[in-house]
Amino acid sequence: MKRIIIVGDERAEGNQWREVFRNRDEKYQVFFVEVSKLCDVGVRRRKKEEDNLYITTKTEGFWAPDGLIWRWGAVKPNWIHEPFLELLKSFPKFPMVSRPEAHLICANRLRMLSALSSDPEIPIVPHVAFVTSRFLIESRYKPEYPCVVKIGSFHQGLMKAKVDSDDQWHDLLSFIFPLEMPVVIEDFIKFKRDLRLIFIGDEVWSLVREFEGWKANRLKRLYVEKPTEKMLDLTKRAREAIGNPEYGALDLVEKDDGSFCVFEINDTPDLDPDTIQVEDSYRKVADMLIKKIG
């Protein structure tokens, strides 16, 4: 019996992960741990020469999992999120899908943008970044309108606002001043197509999303098309910039002139086949872990 740890939301994905680990040549047992509960999970080496991961949970006691899949994104970052991933870096031989280095980069918006910026061929959305909201206000920076203000490292359209005037800008500053979070101010990009490039292993799917309003990267209805060579190149470059995760998604838009603008790369994208229209998406990721476990 092999025991698998899924760091994620059991209510959202429990059935899907348990299903794809069933009916295998080897038997697998799946355990879920939410990020908010990681402080209840002790992780340590039992013996230095083993270089194995051991955890302590209330239900199972002290035991060694056989593999791990990290499924907790930065929708609402938790303080234990990054320290736990830092600790996992000390177990380079432990089987997990995507290394913790890639998850660490994506856990922080500024770190992710910095990593993507390391490749000048990736057309990242023009932006100005401030370490904290207090520094933004003290700098007396004034953006060009319209612009998009993103606060913290949240995803799914959270903590984002479009600003069109001085009045809106000053109102927004009054809200963000006490938050003491990183702030990224992006140019407002007019686009004709909202795209997500899903990659799992060597496969890439181009998802074209129908959108409403000004926000990109918001799932409405979508359809799948064959990615172009340019899309494949951007996906490859973005993956390499954050440490080559084995699956993920690149969010970008296509402008009227046919050029692309990249907003972010996501290390834990939605894998629901009904939503992203990628057949056996969960199974493809599970197969990666099973191959590593051997």
pLDDT at 42 over 60: no
pLDDT at 36 over 80: no
CATH of the domain at 266: 3.30.470.20
CATH of the domain at 18: 3.40.50.20
pLDDT at residue 56 in the model: 72
Q: Domain tally for the chain?
A: 3
Does some domain include residue 19?
yes
Cα–Cα–Cα angle for 272, 237, 185, nearest 5°? 80
- If asked whether residues 70 and 207 sit together in one domain, one would say no
- If asked whether residues 31 and 55 sit together in one domain, one would say yes
- If asked whether residues 287 and 269 sit together in one domain, one would say no
Q: What is the mean pLDDT of residues 87-92?
A: 86
Does some domain include residue 244?
yes
Alpha helix (H) ranges present in the chain? Answer: 10-20, 81-88, 100-106, 109-117, 133-139, 166-176, 229-241, 273-276, 281-293
pLDDT at 84 over 80: yes
pLDDT at residue 63 in the model: 84
Instruction: Show which of 187, 211, 229 is a domain's final residue.
Output: 187
Does some domain include residue 233?
yes
- If asked whether residues 134 and 232 sit together in one domain, one would say no
Q: Which residues, in sequence order, are CB contacts of 168 under 8 Å at separation 6+?
A: 161
- If asked whether residues 160 and 236 sit together in one domain, one would say no
Does some domain include residue 87?
yes
- If asked whether residues 93 and 7 sit together in one domain, one would say yes
- d(C-alpha 119, C-alpha 115), whole Å: 8
Q: What is the mean pLDDT of residues 185-194?
A: 93
Other CB atoms within 10 A of residue 128 CB: 14
- d(C-alpha 74, C-alpha 286), whole Å: 22
- d(C-alpha 186, C-alpha 194), whole Å: 17
Task: Please name the residue that has the structure tokens 């069109």.
Answer: 164
pLDDT at 79 over 80: no
- If asked whether residues 219 and 114 sit together in one domain, one would say yes
Range scoring the smallest mean pLDDT among 31-40, 83-92, 268-277: 31-40
Instruction: With H, G, I as helix, E, B as strand and everything else as coil, classify residue 201.
Output: coil
Q: Say what percent of the chain tops pLDDT 70.
A: 88
Q: What is the mean pLDDT of residues 117-121?
A: 97
> What tens digit of pLDDT does each residue of 190-215 get?
998 999 999 999 999 999 987 667 77
Structural domain for 204, as ranges:
109-123+190-280
pLDDT at residue 276 in the model: 84
- d(C-alpha 285, C-alpha 159), whole Å: 30
Provide Rg for the chain, Cα atoms. 20
Range scoring the smallest mean pLDDT among 60-74, 166-180, 253-267: 60-74
Does some domain include residue 102?
no
- d(C-alpha 217, C-alpha 210), whole Å: 10
Instruction: Show which of 187, 203, 220 is a domain's final residue.
Output: 187
Q: Please tell me the pTM assigned to this model.
A: 0.91
- If asked whether residues 131 and 257 sit together in one domain, one would say no
Phi, psi of 271 (to 5 degrees): -110, 5
- If asked whether residues 81 and 194 sit together in one domain, one would say no
Instruction: Show which of 166, 187, 208 is a domain's final residue.
Output: 187
Burial of 271 (0-12, 13-18, 19+ CB in 10 A): buried
Does some domain include residue 104?
no
Burial of 165 (0-12, 13-18, 19+ CB in 10 A): exposed
pLDDT at residue 62 in the model: 79
The amino acid that residue 232 corresponds to is L
* DSSP line for 40-85: G-EEE-SSTTT---EEEETTTEEE--SEEEE---SSS--TTHHHHH
- If asked whether residues 222 and 114 sit together in one domain, one would say yes
Which tops the pLDDT comparison, 33 or 66?
66
> Do 67 and 292 contact (CB within 8 A), yes or no?
yes
CATH of the domain at 158: 3.30.1490.20
- If asked whether residues 119 and 213 sit together in one domain, one would say yes
- d(C-alpha 92, C-alpha 101), whole Å: 11
Does some domain include residue 89?
yes
CA proximity to 70, closest of 56, 82, 52: 82
- If asked whether residues 198 and 211 sit together in one domain, one would say yes
The amino acid that residue 149 corresponds to is V
